[in-house]
Amino acid sequence: MHYTPHFYLDPGTGSFIIQIAIAALLGLGVALRASWGSIKKLFGIKPKEEDDDSDNASN
Amino acid sequence: MPQTEKLPASFRDPSGFLFSRSGILYRQINRAYSMDYARLMDSGLYAKLTKLGLLIPHAESDQAPAESASAFKVIQPERVPFISYPYEWSFSQLKDAALATLSIQKHALKLGMSLKDASAYNIQFARGKATLIDTLSFEIYKEGEPWIAYKQFCQHFLAPLALMSFRDARLNQLLRVYIDGVPLDLAGALLPAKTKFNFGLLTHIHIHAGAQKKYSDNIVAPRKGAMSKQALTGLIESLEATIKKLTWKPAGTEWGDYYKNTNYADSAFEHKKQLVKEWTAEKNPNLVWDLGGNTGVFSREAASSGAFTVSFDIDPAAVEQNYRIVKKQKEQNILPLVLDLTNPSPAIGWDNAERDSFGARGPADMALALAVIHHLAISNNVPLTQLAEFFAARCKWLVIEFVPKSDSQVKRLLASREDIFPNYVREGFESAFSERFDIRKAESVRDSERTLYLMERKY
């Protein structure tokens, strides 16, 4: 099944395809980090608090 | 009924549009967007983002919609004191705008929404911070869907930032030509080859540009569910990491250390600061334009009266330094911007009406033109009468410094050329400006040959 496009901007076919490929790779990183976090938890290492309210101006 | 005017910059998105009525800015939300708007407000996303200063706050209004057939609601967004554009921002301003956009997207994803556009024009500097001004940029996130705004984000933010960081900070001027951001193939061609060894730039610019070319004639839509939320998060975090690593150190430009190179005495400088402070306090303007503001020393004197002060300068290094001061001191009423007064920002976009010219965003209540007249009159050969016309169209009150030919800065400008400016003397200056202004005050700047004037526009 394909999308019924509902976008008001043209996301660009190439941009769509390439981001899916890149993101698949990068998503692995996110997954690994998440499981690494639970492994560390298993050994009693507390995960770092994510600074949710951090300022966007970071430099 | 008061006149309703649709703003020419918000025609693309069918979710709604901006209109003004009796000088107040409203946004009509169309019925097509009602579900998304409800999610934005009910999910806590609106509260979260406005609390963080990432989204402009608004109030729901009982004003009649501008086009009732499609209308769902009318909201009144908080007004930004001065609208600026990415080709007027320094490196760190564009970088902060990019990081704000990604931060918003991360918050949105956590609460089941996603940005459906990532235009640099949707970001403005409000209270000193990069803030999203388009309340209708969010849509309900559908699991499996890629980021629609990915291409736009790369073109509006990543490409110009990479070019500014790796090539030259002046390359953000490309945004003045390309209203939908720097084309990625162009960015790829201009960036040094070593950027192919930077994972983020390799993928999001070089490979991305290649894919755009390869699939340019393709009409194949990606399969549904092609991109997990985890993958999307990875994409956003990768863009964020890539942009955080981009840096630019302002150095070696025209004015970077101008104040160190001038020969006029500290006492003259302090006297000028004192006069600017006194005169702004006395006239109490709401909006001040400091034209040729350098790193903002005099802008800060003007802003101390409470005026919102836009500090324009031609030099991206000075504007960068000024912005860093704004951030460091958490100043809310100073906006540093890059502007070449001899060729100010034009009106661009569809029908030349999407982005306003510099002049159309005025007039200001007061303008400062300190140590700038010789650059316009001598370096750029603008006759004094035309300069008076220019300033009269831009402000009611004018604080202007006359720098005579005997001043070392003017001598420097005339050193390598013929002096074709017989009128460029104090009397000539006063008579030219008196046609459009009444001279209210004229003070000799201590320990210098310069004069500072306070003028009021005649009509």
pLDDT in the model for residue A44:
75
Right CATH number for B258-457 from 3.40.1130.10, 2.40.30.10, 3.30.590.20, 3.40.50.150? 3.40.50.150
What pTM was estimated for this model as a whole?
0.93
Both tokens of B68, joined, read 């009732």
Query: Which has the closest alpha carbon to B143: B223, B227, B42?
Result: B227
Query: Which has the closest alpha carbon to B272: B145, B114, B399?
Result: B399
Right CATH number for B86-245 from 1.10.510, 1.10.287, 1.10.260, 3.40.50? 1.10.510
Parts of chain B with a pLDDT under 70: 1, 219-225, 252-264
**What residues of chain B lie within 8 A of the CB of A24, using their CB?**
227, 231
- H/E segment holding residue B30: strand B24-30
pLDDT in the model for residue A58:
42
Domains B86-245 and B258-457 share a fold: no
The domain ranges of chain B are 4-37+55-77, 86-245, 258-457
Query: Which has the closest alpha carbon to B97: B116, B122, B72?
Result: B122
**What residues of chain A lie within 8 A of the CB of B208, using their CB?**
14-15, 18-19, 22
pLDDT in the model for residue B314:
95
Which residue has tokens 């034209």? B291
Q: Which amino acid is at B84?
A: S
The CA-CA-CA angle for residues B446, B447, B453, to 5°, reads 40
CB contact under 8 A, B232 and A23: yes
Percent with pLDDT over 70 in chain A: 66
Give B359 to chain A, closest Cα distance, Å.
Answer: 30
**What residues of chain B lie within 8 A of the CB of A16, using their CB?**
146, 150, 221-222
pLDDT in the model for residue A47:
58
pLDDT in the model for residue A43:
78
For chain A positions 17-56, those within 8 Å of chain B (CB to CB) are 17-20, 22-31, 53-56
Cis ω for the linkage preceding B336 (within 30 of 0) = no
Mutate to test the interface with B, among A18, A28, A50 (most CBs of B within 10 A): A18
ipTM: 0.76
Rg (CA), chain B: 24
Q: What is the torsion angle, in degrees rounded to the nearest 10, for the CA atoms of residue B216, residue B222, residue B228 and residue B234?
A: -10
Judge whether residue A55 has pLDDT over 50: no
pLDDT in the model for residue A9:
77
pLDDT in the model for residue A59:
39
